[in-house]
Amino acid sequence: MNRRLRIAVAAGLVVLLVAAAVLAFGFWQFTRPVPESYSHTAEYRAYLQPDATLTDVTLYLPLPVENGSSPAGDALVSGSPGVVDAPPGWSFAVEDTAYGPMLALSFPELAPNYVERPPPRTVDPDGTTAAPGTATPTVAPGRTPIRTLDSYLVSVELAFEEPIDTRSPADSGPVLRPRLNATEVPCDELTGEEAGCRRFGTRMYLSYDAPENATVDVLVTYEGRNDWFAGGWTGNSYRQSTRVVATGDGPGWVAVDGEETTGVGTYRGAPSAVVDAGAVERTE
C-alpha cells in the first residue's frame, strides 16, 4: 500500500470515528432525562353504580390519606380545579370515622344513572346507510334509543412538587385508607421486574334503603405517577383499588379487600423520591 493510500485510509477511519462519536453523543443527549419534563401526579376515582333508586343514602368511602389528611378529599370539599369529574349538584365532606378520614356522600335519593345513545342506523332500500353526522335530533317513529346503566364518577387529579415514591408509597405518601393487614401476593408477570403486589383490608360504610333485589357497585381507585421525557415519554407508577357489590338495603360497615401494585414502569433516569412530598392542586 503506497503512502497516499495509507493516508487516505487513515483519514477515512478518523472521519468514521468522529462521526460515530458525534452520533453516540447525540444519542446520549437525546436519551438523557429532561429535568423540565418531570411531572408527579396522582388521581383518585370513585365509581357508584346503583341499578335501582336508593333513598336516605349515606356512604363513607376510602380516601388517600397521609398523616391524618387527604389532599384529594380537601380538593373535593373545596371544589378546586383538581376535581375533573363530579356529578352536578353533588357535595362532599371528609368524615372523621373510627377508621380515619373518609369521603362522605349523602343523598335523600340516588337514582340509577342511565345513558342513552342513538339506535343503529337503518339500512335504506338501496342497501346504503345514512352518512355519519346526518342523524336528526329526534328518533324516527318505532325506533327507541339504546339505554344502558352507567356509573356516577368522582375524579380528582393532583400535582405533586416532589417525586412520588412508587415502590413503597405507604411509607412516604398518601395511600387508600383504612389500610389493614397488607400482605405480599404474587404479581402478574406483565407488571415487570420492579413490581410488588399486595392485598390489604379496608372498610366502606353503605347505608340506604333499597329494593330487595337492588345492587350497588362501588369502586375506588388511586394511582400515583412520575413521568419524564428521555428520548420518549416514560415513567413509573403504583395503583390501588378496592370494590364492593352490595344487594338490598345498605349493610352499614363492610370489610372489603383492596389490591395494590407498586414499582410499575422504569426507574432509569427517574428522580429520587422524597419523603413527605407536598401536593398541590392541578390547575391546568
Residues in the chain: 284
Q: What is the pLDDT of residue 278?
A: 40
Structural domain contains residue 20:
no
% of the chain beyond a pLDDT of 90: 62
Q: State the pLDDT confidence band at 30, using cuts at 50, 70 and 90.
A: very low
Q: Peptide bond preceding 178: is omega within 30 degrees of 0, i.e. cis?
A: yes
Of 31-35, 166-170, 197-201, the range with the lowest mean pLDDT is 31-35
Looking at per-residue pLDDT, the higher value among 198 and 144 belongs to 198
pLDDT of 22 over the 90 cut: no
Structural domain contains residue 42:
yes
Q: What is the pLDDT of residues 105-114, one digit of tens each?
A: 999 999 999 9
Structural domain contains residue 172:
yes
Structural domain contains residue 259:
yes
C-alpha of 142 from chain center? 41
Pull the grid cell for residue 47: 365509581
Q: What is the pLDDT of residue 279?
A: 42
Q: By the 8 A CB rule, do 151 and 47 touch?
A: yes
- Mean pLDDT, the chain, as a whole number? 83
Q: What is the pLDDT of residue 59?
A: 98
* Average pLDDT for 238-251: 97
pLDDT of 29 over the 80 cut: no
Q: What is the pLDDT of residues 47-63, one digit of tens each?
A: 999 999 999 999 999 99
Q: State the pLDDT confidence band at 140, using cuts at 50, 70 and 90.
A: low
Structural domain contains residue 216:
yes
Cβ-based neighbour number of residue 241 at 10 Å: 17
* Domain extent at residue 57: 37-112+148-281
Q: State the pLDDT confidence band at 159, using cuts at 50, 70 and 90.
A: very high
State how far the Cα of 274 lies from the Cα of 122, in Å rounded to an integer.
Answer: 59
Structural domain contains residue 11:
no
Structural domain contains residue 171:
yes
Q: What is the pLDDT of residue 12?
A: 59
Q: What is the pLDDT of residues 31-50, one digit of tens each?
A: 455 667 789 999 999 999 99
**In 32-190, where does DSSP find H-type helix?**
71-78
Q: What is the pLDDT of residue 188?
A: 79
Q: What is the pLDDT of residue 11?
A: 59
Q: By the 8 A CB rule, do 45 and 52 touch?
A: no
Q: What is the pLDDT of residue 53?
A: 98
Classify residue 140 as exposed, middle or buried by CB count within 10 Å of its CB (0-12, 13-18, 19+): exposed
Structural domain contains residue 19:
no
Of 37-41, 103-107, 115-119, 207-211, the range with the lowest mean pLDDT is 115-119
Overall number of domains in the chain? 1
